Structure 1
Amino acid sequence: MTRAPRTSVRAKAPGKVNVFLRVGSLMDDGYHDVAIAYQALSLSEEVRVSHADRLSVEVSGTVELSRVPLDGTNIAIQAARLLAARTGYTGGARIEIEKHVPVTGGMGGGSADAAATLLALDALWGTELPRDEMLELARKLGADVPFAFTGGTAIGTGRGDELSPALASGTFHWVLALAEFGLSTPEVYAELDRHRSRHAPGVLHVDDAPTVDADVLQALRAGDPRMLAEVLHNDLQAAALHLSPSLAQTLELGEENGALAGIISGSGPTVAFLAADRDSALELQVALSAAQLRVVRATGPVHGARIVSD
């Protein structure tokens, strides 16, 4: 029996935290090679697509939305155009995004939008693109998009889009302190380059081909939050703190209230606190909320982009 064409499709994709991020030296093309240990979080984006004559995007959600573009620069529209160009599809779609990952918060919310849009439109349009080709499109959209597509725990190298799965066990509990402002990823990288230039004589050698420390992989395999807390690392943290010094107070507050460790998520400004267990995460959430911070709890790792039923 032939299945009736879908009138709409809903998909979800996760935000992420980088439990480790090492940045290589500045290359001639203006980019850096990186080594990232990604963990997909239960804080996710939801995308609903339906047939339309042209492409359009609408956004709603629980986070500040003023910085989300509603024109062709929106990454979901870019994802739709890329899929249509690859498959020869000539129709449009209405793309509705429900956002829960902070915008320009260093947690890959836009990347999750792109991954969910690719998956949902492939199902709506019936284009049936093979998975490896979907991942190829994801790489063209941004360095974090392939991981939002695959989820779980993975190591990213190159620009962060060359993924290899990492063994992980158990569940890690995170409390995320959300800022009222965003940080531009290119600006944070530029500040890191300036920082390294200023302090070049006194810093360690910057590797052109960075790698993830073995201790990080061991902690993830063991599913041990205390082990992981000891090895959390982000080369971009100093740059983010220089651009937004108030984040240092947030880090101190979390660690004073029971976090095993805190780390700037990606390029920031979200601060991710690792807790020992669910009860500890709840207590930390209450303490930070009492200090007038906007916080949410999340767990990881979780699956990547997936179709969900209504």
Structure 2
Amino acid sequence: MKGISYSRYGGPEVLEYGEVKDPKVGPDSVLVKVRAAAVNPVDWKCREGQLHGIMDAVFPVVPGWDVSGVVVQPGPAVTEFAVGDEVIGYVREDFLSRGTYAEYVAAPVRTLARKPRNLTFEQAAGLPLAGLTAYQVLVHALEVRRGETVLVHAAAGGVGSLAVQIAAHLGARVIGTASERNHDFVRGLGGEPVTYGAGLAERVRGLAPEGVAAVFDTVGGEALIASANLLAPEGRMASIADPDVVDFGGRYCWARPDAEDLTRLAALAEQGALTVHVAETFPLKRAADAQRRSQEGGTRGKLVVTVDWPEEG
């Protein structure tokens, strides 16, 4: 099959398009015909070797953990899905090798849910990793409750834009940091935008004089330090970007594959409570360009790699 792979750590130039090994379908997996795969910052961080200390790379590595597509072959123990089912998945293993930037991927059923019927394949591909990150931080780590005020950093980004919507659905008041050009976008998601950068703490205090009940940090560094000073008494903080959050009494979080949580996200999408903004799509051959764009930062919503199938027009 065709796919993207890299045989050594490095920049986008190490990504190659060509033949990659066909996946084997285990007893508890299904073979998914890939229609789209979201591009996440972790993809290029893996490619650069930034996760080498915690994850082995079995070269050549096919990058990508997000997928949307169609089941073409269930494993012999699978009863949850059948041929033709449209699915989404956060297909992460504990090592790097068999990713989703390819025509097919073998996905364990524990990583999958049914694709929301009202989302395109491109939109649906952007939901699993970013959506699970937002949902698990807000619901499991921060335990956000109705009526609380939540501060979400980078509220127009892939994770942040979903976090704003989920927090609002939970009944929270959401303040979101964003550049001026994204303020209307954040308002449309249900958040109250504030400009990040110098003076952030004062701007947030202007909206929430008594502090915020919870902070969802997606950028780390100075934003994390400012956030610690914005917490109300008994406030909670979690970060997906900076392990130093534990020094402030917060939690450092990673999303984990969870079929039940992913099914809940899909249900929110079908209810109209959650949508995915796709900033730009790239054909599979241009995956390196997609990762370059991701590394530039400042993306509103998600970047997505697509697989074109001639028989589907």
TM > 0.5 between the two?
no
**TM-score normalized by structure 1?**
0.23
> 1 or 2 for the larger relative contact order (CA 8 Å, sep ≥6)?
1
**TM-score normalized by structure 2?**
0.23
